Amino acid sequence: MLANSSTEFTARLVVEYTQPEKPNDEILKQIEQAAAAKVKENLEIIVTTQTRAKAEAWYSAHPVNKQFIYERRPPPAHLNQLNILEIPGTPQRITFS
Strand partners, 48: 84
- Cα–Cα distance, 90 to 14 (Å, whole number): 12
Whether pTM > 0.85 for this model: the answer is no
pLDDT-derived band at 78 (thresholds 50, 70, 90) equals very high
| pLDDT surpassing 50 at residue 4 | no
The amino acid at residue 88 is: P
* pLDDT score recorded for residue 54: 92
Window from 29-33, 41-45, 86-90 with minimum mean pLDDT: 86-90
